[in-house]
Amino acid sequence: MKTADVVVLGGSAAGFTAAVTARRHYPEKKIVMVRKEDLVPIPCGIPYVIGTIGDNEKNIIPDTGLEKNNIELFKACGQEIDCENKVLRTDSEDIHYDRLILAVGSVPTIPPIDGIDKEGVFFIRKNIEYLKKLQTAVSKASSVVVIGGGFIGIEFADEIKKAGVDNVTILELAPHCLSLAYDNEFCIEMEELLRSRGIKIKTECKVESIAGDECVSFVRTDDGEEIPADMVVIGIGAKANSKLAEEAGLRIGRTGAIIVDKTMRTSDDNIFACGDCSKKIAFFGGRPSPLKLASIATTEARIAGANLFGITRESTGTVGVWSTSVGNLALGTAGLTESMARAQGYNIVVSVIEGPNRHPGMMPGAAMIKMKLVFDAKSGVILGGQVRGDATVGEMINTISVCVERKMNASEIAIFQTGTHPMLTASPVAYQLVNAAEMAISKMRNN
Amino acid sequence: MKTADVVVLGGSAAGFTAAVTARRHYPEKKIVMVRKEDLVPIPCGIPYVIGTIGDNEKNIIPDTGLEKNNIELFKACGQEIDCENKVLRTDSEDIHYDRLILAVGSVPTIPPIDGIDKEGVFFIRKNIEYLKKLQTAVSKASSVVVIGGGFIGIEFADEIKKAGVDNVTILELAPHCLSLAYDNEFCIEMEELLRSRGIKIKTECKVESIAGDECVSFVRTDDGEEIPADMVVIGIGAKANSKLAEEAGLRIGRTGAIIVDKTMRTSDDNIFACGDCSKKIAFFGGRPSPLKLASIATTEARIAGANLFGITRESTGTVGVWSTSVGNLALGTAGLTESMARAQGYNIVVSVIEGPNRHPGMMPGAAMIKMKLVFDAKSGVILGGQVRGDATVGEMINTISVCVERKMNASEIAIFQTGTHPMLTASPVAYQLVNAAEMAISKMRNN
């Protein structure tokens, strides 16, 4: 039997980061990563293989990071956790652990649709061989239906179009694509852009069946429309992969995720869990959060990895920070959108500002930034922010994320010290984050 | 005699922002801005008029912002403050104020160099007529010497080159350009870029004289070199414009700036000051800070404007946040650089990380980000950060600024919740800010 101080089960974003973090905090410990995959795709990069990168083997989390950090890679499939004896049984050798980190991810949600098992129907699996087949199918397809208009759905749709497929249609249950991620006005901008790029979008529609002989030939929606398709991609979400944990007797939440405390410890003190497989608690309100993102996974992994032999870090709860980009348009959210905040019963003040991210605004490369901030009306504390703009949105949203996590109020944000430059940002007079906060204060006064 | 609740003297970044902030916080007050200029240049945009924008009248703070905010513009030159009677005397009508905000900026430092008054020698004055003359001189010049390799110096040099001048030379007293803004390794990168763009740089040299008949013909340095020049631009700093304040009996600091407390109030309770004319206290260490930036001015203006009739905001001290960009290279600093921190006697831990700002790294548009963070070795609190990269640096540095202002420690930064996207940011596994913080923790442990 192998033996290690730390065993990390899973090699994607959470597992990799947990192992590296464990190494940084416990230089003397023996750390083994157990994973079944030969190559691990960068999860967020998966859609971009289709049209932009072109090759799945160029979208890989490199094993050099493991070697550099003296983490042993043991390719095996975890099959059972013997908590009492602290042993992970695999399809190869078993391993005795002192601490175990479960970073086993999620599995795609498979909707109960008639015809879902036909040839040509694909889910998003973090598996290179599977993704290669998906890539091949795209290269042969002339009509693709993407079921689900969330991040994955719109990114896949755009990349499939980019790869040369003539007819690409997104089917979405909600009134708008991305409606779990952004307020409607932002969703509509993205939909308009997607349509201008030749992608068809049909919202408020339910898929009734996927039809065809062996292979898919069309998708039927609940209003009776039949959309021709020689390929279907389903991206409607994922559920925590908690099978092993459940069988081992660890506590599992109602939605199927492994229950962890703020330190990322499971109901067994020697076992931690992080990433898509572990239960998340929302930063605001403290209810379970359904979010599953690689960025959340890595934050949790940095908590789990540090805490293995002595608790030093606690999760503040899942804020929810993300961004999306199609063409030159980028959207980002940190914390609550207006609709989320209202749905959760917050009494809010919203401020919206729009302006260029260069100064003067006619500087080359300028893009119009639209920023929307949501504040608690009583305390003035920021609940969230959304940004629309160009590539700088990816970092802007992280500035807002720090403001949210630090529970800054509008006045503190209004006088936070920004650096500005004509070629890089809005002017200091017009800097959107600061001004949107200042405008919110005026509204609070008038409330 | 005119009368107003609030009189703001000065119409550049500080004055404009102070007036607008006053309006937002005091909707019912009569606010008058007094300024002598017909048109006010956007201060940070001044260098970019030369080669990029081409026209000084396209780099203007628009008066529409005043109209929209119901701020009366009174074009006059402030000549005396009668504190006892609360009257600002001008070269036109006098104005009685209830509260006065001094936002009168700075004047260029004029070095005691022989020949400094020759024709063809220019300073950076925030005056459109003067700047038009400068622009005309550039258009006729074939050899320009820029004295001072700080922000203004390198930006002017690059823009003058861009405008078609054959020979552009920067003369800098220190061993490197930008050495007050960045650690040497970053300065050297910028110098290499400037040289590759055809700009000559001579460091560790003092200008002995500017020679020529009426017009400048060459600049002589202390090592005896004579550099031909038909134009000289001097950008070696500025000093607070505190003449009026001093004559009115307000307290003035040793370096000539108007002394203010944390609320931006001067020694007269009815008079506030902000921007280049007011004294700054450093966020770290609490000593006087020599920084003069439009972004600092606007933050101070947002404090002054809000506090006029009841204190609600206090300055935390000047953090020092800035960015610089030439071509595709951008540099940014928030807080202390390594050399500043060491010079101030901090016991520090430094971590440096380099990686792409897309994931995978071969995504189109990826740039290599180099991030250097400085932490207090004992408390683990961040003292500052520097970033080198592309246009996203402008916003990255603001994320770091919030971390600095909120006095976050390395562990808090390591688990702050980032949003990441293949097209917009580094991967969540490799996100530089988080990883640099994590690496610093390892170093602290080994100290």
Q: A395, A408, A420, A441: best mutation site toward chain B, by most B Cβ within 10 Å? A: A395
Q: Which residues of chain A have a CB within 8 Å of the CB of B71?
A: none
Residues of chain A contacting residue B61, judged by C-beta atoms under 8 Å apart: 429
Domain-ending residue, one of B206, B236, B266? B236
Residue B423 and residue A330: Cβ atoms within 8 Å?
A: yes
Contacts of B427 in chain A (CB under 8 A): 13, 42, 44-45, 294
Which of B84, B88, B124 shows the shortest CA–CA distance to B103? B88
- Compute the distance between CA of residue A195 and CA of residue A43 in angstroms, rounded to an integer: 26
User: Does some domain include residue B315?
Assistant: no
Q: Cβ contacts (< 8 Å) between A276 and chain B: which residues?
A: none
**One domain for residues A189 and A139:** yes
Based on the domain organization, do B10 and B94 belong to the same domain?
Answer: yes
Q: Is pLDDT above 80 for B447?
A: no
Residue of A nearest to B415 (CA): A299
Q: Which bin fits B65, alpha (ψ -120 to 50), beta or left (φ > 0)?
A: alpha
**What length does chain B have?**
447
Is B370 in contact with B352 (CB distance < 8 Å)?
A: yes
Note whether B345 and B418 are same-domain residues: yes
Q: Following DSSP, what letter does each residue of B163-224 receive, concatenated? A: TT-SEEEEE-SSSSTTTTTS-HHHHHHHHHHHHHTTEEEE-S--EEEEEESSBEEEEEETTS
Flag whether B290 is in a domain: yes
Neighboring chain A residues of B422 at a CB cutoff of 8 Å: 42, 44-45, 48
> Are both B13 and B103 inside the same structural domain?
yes
Domain match, A325 and A438 both: yes
pLDDT digits (tens, 9 = 90+) for A368-407: 999 999 999 999 999 999 999 999 999 999 999 999 999 9
A181 contacts on B by Cβ (under 8 Å):
none
Token pair, residue A374, equals: 């949501």
Q: Are residues B343 and B387 in the same domain?
A: yes
pLDDT score at B365: 92
> What secondary structure does DSSP assign to B356-385, as a single string?
ESSSSTTSTT--EEEEEEEEETTT-BEEEE
Q: Which residues of B51-63 are buried (b: 16+ CB within 10 A; e: fewer)?
A: bbbeebeebbbeb
**Each residue of A125-134: pLDDT tens digit?**
999 999 999 9
Q: Residues B262, B298: one domain?
A: yes
The CATH number of whichever domain residue B249 belongs to comes to: 3.50.50.60
pLDDT of res. A401 = 98
What percent of chain B has pLDDT above 70? 100
User: Is residue B445 very low, low, confident or very high in pLDDT (cuts 50, 70, 90)?
Assistant: confident
On whether both B334 and B404 belong to a single domain, the answer is: yes
Residues of B in contact with A425 (CB under 8 A): 323, 394-395, 398
Residue in A with minimal Cα distance to B394: A424
Mean pLDDT of A167-178: 98
B313 within domain boundaries: no
B367 domain residue, yes or no: yes
> What's the CA gap between A92 and A84, in Å, rounded?
20
A348 in the same domain as A337: yes
Residues in chain A: 447
**What is the distance, to the nearest Å, from the Cα of residue A6 to the centroid of all Cα atoms in its chain?**
26
Tell me, yes or no, if B330 comes closer than 8 A to chain A by beta carbon: yes
Residues B248 and B216 in one domain: no
CB of A183 closer than 8 Å to CB of A372: yes
A30 lies in a domain? Answer: yes
| Residues 6+ positions from A396 with CB-CB distance below 8 Å | A332, A369, A371, A387, A389, A433, B395, B398
Apex B143 CA angle, B140 and B149, nearest 5: 115
A271 bridge partner residues? A100
**What is the rounded end-to-end Cα distance, in angstroms, of chain A?**
67
The number of domains in chain B is: 3
A114, part of any domain: no
Global pTM?
A: 0.97
Please name the residues between 243 and 302 in chain B that touch chain A, using a CB distance below 8 Å: 293-299, 302
Residues A80 and A125 in one domain: no
Question: Smallest Cα–Cα separation from B191: which of B331, B75, B393, B20?
Answer: B331
Most B-contacting residue of A423, A431, A432, A446 (CB-CB within 10 A), to test interface: A423
User: How far B186 CA sits from the closest chain A CA (Å)?
Assistant: 17
Q: Is B315 on the interface with A (CB under 8 A)?
A: yes
At B116, is the pLDDT very low, low, confident or very high (cuts 50, 70, 90)?
very high
Torsion of CA A57, A63, A65, A66, to 10 degrees: 160
Confidence of residue A440 (pLDDT cuts 50, 70, 90): very high
CA distances from A98 to A21, A75, A95, B189 (A): 16, 19, 10, 47
CA of A53: which chain B residue's CA is closest?
B363
Which residues sit opposite B284 in a β-bridge?
Answer: none
CB pairs under 8 A between A and B: 281
Cross-strand bridge partners of residue A353: A371
Domain range for A55? 2-107+239-307
Same domain flag for B195 and B176: yes
Residues in chain B closer than 8 A to A312 (CB atoms): 411
Contacts of B394 in chain A (CB under 8 A): 392, 419-421, 423-425
Q: Is A313 within the bounds of a domain?
A: no
Q: Tell me the pLDDT band of A445, cut-offs 50, 70 and 90.
A: confident
Amino acid A446: pLDDT: 76
pLDDT tens for residues A292-347?
A: 999 999 999 999 999 999 999 999 999 999 999 999 999 999 999 999 999 999 99
Report d(CA B323, CA B181) in Å as an integer. 9
Interface of A with B in 362-421 (CB under 8 A): 362-365, 391-399, 401-403, 405-406, 408, 411, 414-421
What tens digit of pLDDT does each residue of A36-87 get?
Answer: 999 999 999 999 999 999 999 999 999 999 999 999 999 999 999 999 999 9
Kindly report whether the peptide bond that precedes residue A111 is cis, defined as omega within 30 degrees of 0.
no
The 10 Å Cβ neighbour count of residue A173 is 16
Q: What is the per-residue pLDDT across A211-246, written as a single tens digit (0 to 9) for each?
A: 999 999 999 999 999 999 999 999 999 999 999 999
Are the beta carbons of A421 and B297 separated by less than 8 Å?
no
How many Å apart are CA B414 and CA A313, to the nearest integer? 10
In this structure, is residue A315 part of a structural domain?
no
| Nearest-CA distance A252 → chain B (Å) | 24
Nearest partner of B284 among B332, B351, B237, B348, judged by Cα:
B348
Of A236, A264, A298, which marks where a domain is finished? A236
